[in-house]
Amino acid sequence: MRLQIRLPQVLVAVAAAAFGSVGIALYTQHALGMLPCPWCVLQRLIFVVIGLLALLAALGPRALRLPLVVLADGLAAAGLAAAMWQQFHASKEPSCDMTLADRIVSGLKLDALLPDVFMALASCADATVDMLGISYAVWSGAMFVLLGLALGWAVAFLLRSRP
C-alpha cells in the first residue's frame, strides 16, 4: 500500500502549524507572562500570513495555488531571517525600538488594532526566553524551516503537475 500525499492536506497542515505557533506564543505571553519584543511580534505576523495564504491555496481556485504557495514559501524564508536576526543580533541589543520589525508592525497599525496579539511589550534583550533550554527565536526559526520545506515541496508538486 502506497501512502498518497494530497496537496490540500499539506497546505491545511501548514496553516495549522503556522496558526498553532501563534497560539503557543499567545499562551506563553498571556498565561506565563513571557512578553514579546518587536521581532517576536513580526514573526507572529509572518506566521499568520503564511497560514492565511496556505488556507487560500488549499481551499481557493486552483489557478491561484502556485502564486499563493510561492508567496507563502518566500515568507517562510523571511520569517527565518527575522528569527535569525532576533537570535544573533537583536537579542544582544538593549533596545529594539524603531527597528525594521517595530516599523512594520506599527506602520500596519496592528499593535493598535489587535494589541493582545501584535503589541510589543518588551525589549529584544528582555524578551530573550528559553523553552526546554532553546531560545524562542530558535524554535521560531525551526518552525519557519519546516514550513518552508513543506511549502517548497508544494511548489515542486505544483510545477510538476502543470500541463
Query: Is 163 domain-assigned?
Result: no
Query: Is 1 domain-assigned?
Result: no
CATH of the domain at 74: 1.20.1550.10
Q: Please count the helices (runs of H) and the strands (runs of E) in the chain.
A: 7, 2
φ and ψ at 135, to 5 degrees? -65, 150
Query: Is 98 domain-assigned?
Result: yes
Q: How many domains does the chain have?
A: 1
Residue range 86-105, pLDDT digits in tens: 888 776 666 666 678 888 88
Average pLDDT over every residue of 29-33 = 89
| pLDDT of amino acid 105 | 85
Q: Which domain holds residue 86?
A: 7-156
For residue 53, give the nearest of 87, 25, 14, 82 by alpha carbon.
Answer: 14
Query: Is 162 domain-assigned?
Result: no
Total-model pTM:
0.90
| pLDDT of amino acid 102 | 82
Average pLDDT over every residue of 136-148 = 94
SS3 147: helix
Residues near 104 by Cβ (< 8 Å), separated by ≥ 6? 42, 45
Query: Is 52 domain-assigned?
Result: yes
> For residues 28 and 24, what is the distance between their CA atoms, to the nearest angstrom?
6
